[in-house]
Amino acid sequence: MRLALHAEWTKLRTIAGSYWLLFAATALTVGLSAAVSAGVSCSSSACNQDAAKTSLTGVYLGQLMIAVLAVTAVGNEYSTGMIRTTFAAMPRRWLVLVAKAVLVGGGALLAGLLGVLGSVLVGRFILPSKGFTAAHGYRALSLFDGTTLRAAGGSVLYLTLIALLSVGVAALVRDSAAGIGVVFALLFLFPLVANAVGDEHLHRHLEQISPMDAGLAIQATINVHGLVISPWAGLGVLALWAMGALLFGGLSLQLRDA
């Protein structure tokens, strides 16, 4: 395992794109969070808005960069033919997948941590000027607040799980472009279709199984009981998707010719 990790680490760190994507994930997370925080408004104590979720909106954009990093970490080996060398050196193929998942997941964790911390900090400074004041029932965002910590920490885990899901999907489809297409479809189709469905039950169920909607339930800090799925259960749904993708990706590596 140590050797597999070392080999994958060497591959990952020697591609300039990896650093750029991680940097982009962090920067875009903070950037979009700042833009959205500057764009919202709260005019009364009844504005019923989630300050923590608002300041963490950048995760929507950051996750795309994480997904690209994770998908290409697997997909590019297939496009360059490197995968045959890799498997020749490391015949236990699932080990390669685990090593990739650990390293890419770790990178996502790090980028997510920086992006989320930056976002919370940005929200703490911008939101009070947008009406999120004590008079309207809002305290300044702080990680010492239990629910805010859950939202922030959960967002970091969310990004990590998106990385794992993407690694699994890429191993399954064995192509960067198709992998990105599938991952983005998994993320965006559920909310888009759910919004178009008028039936309350179907709408609820679609949101409950949607990797993005359910996973981001972790960001909720108000009206938690009104959510279609509770925060940790929602993150669990995303974890199931990620585990499923890794499992099927691993099986596919074992059973198919490279």
Partner 1 sequence: MTAGFGHLVHAEWTKLRTVRGWLIALALGAVLIVAVGALSAAGSHRGCNNGTGKACAAANAPLTGPDGTAITDNFYFVHQKVDGDGSITVRLTSLAEQAPLPGSGGAGGPDSWVSVTVPWAKAGLIAKASQNQGSAYAAVMATASHGVRFQYNFTHDVAGPPGTVSQSSPQWLRLTRTGNTLTGYESADGANWTKVGATTLAGVPSSVEAGMFVASPDYQQVDNRIVGTSTQGGPSKATATFDNVAVAGGWSPGTWSGGQFAPDGFGPLGPPATPFHQSGGTFAVTGSGDIAPGAGDPDNSTIGGSLIGTFVGLLALVVLGALFITAEYRRGLIRTTLTASPDRGRVLAAKAVVLGAVTFTLSAVACFVAVWWVGNLRQNNGFYIMPTSGATEARVVLGTAALLALASVFALAVGTIVRRSAAAIAAVIALVVLPYILGASAIGPLQWLLRLTPAAAFSVQGVLHRYSQVDAVYIASSGYFPLSPWAGFGVLCLWTVAALGFAWYLLRKRDA
Q: How far is the CB of 239 from partner 1 (least distance, A)?
A: 23
Give me the least distance between CB of 98 and partner 1, in Å please.
22
- Measured from the CB atom, the residue of 60 and 248 that comes closer to partner 1 is 60
Measured between alpha carbons, how far is 202 from 197 in angstroms, rounded to an integer?
7
Residues contacting 48, CB < 8 A, separation 6+: 222, 223
For the CB of residue 91, give the shortest distance to partner 1 in the complex, in Å: 26
Interface residues with partner 1 (CB under 8 A) are 17, 36, 38-44, 46-50, 53-54, 57, 60-61, 64-65, 67-68, 71-72, 75, 79, 176-181, 184-185, 188-189, 191-193, 195-199, 202-203
Reference 235, options 171, 156, 146; nearest CA is 156
Give CA–CA dist 254/144, Å, rounded.
46
Measured from the CB atom, is 15 or 109 closer to partner 1? Answer: 15
- Euclidean distance between CA atoms 255 and 258, whole angstroms: 9
Among candidate residues 153, 178, 183, 181, the one with its CA nearest the CA of residue 165: 183
- Is-contact 103 11, C-beta < 8 A? no
What is d(CA 173, CA 243) in angstroms, rounded to the nearest whole number?
16
> 153 or 191, CB closer to partner 1?
191
Of 30 and 42, the one with the shorter C-beta distance to partner 1 is: 42
Residue 2 C-beta: closest distance to partner 1, Å: 29
CB of 224 to partner 1, least distance (A): 16
| Minimum CB distance to partner 1, residue 124 (Å) | 17
Output 28 or 95, the one with its CB closest to partner 1: 28
Q: Which is nearer to partner 1, 220 or 235 (CB)?
A: 220
Nearest to 37 by CA among 166, 112, 127, 131: 127
Q: Which of 203, 207, 208, 250 is nearest to 98 (CA)?
A: 250
Q: Compare residues 90 and 209 and give the one whose CB is closer to partner 1.
A: 209
Question: For the chain, what is the total number of helices (H) and then of strands (E)?
Answer: 11, 0
| Beta carbon of residue 159, minimum distance to partner 1 (angstroms, whole number) | 15
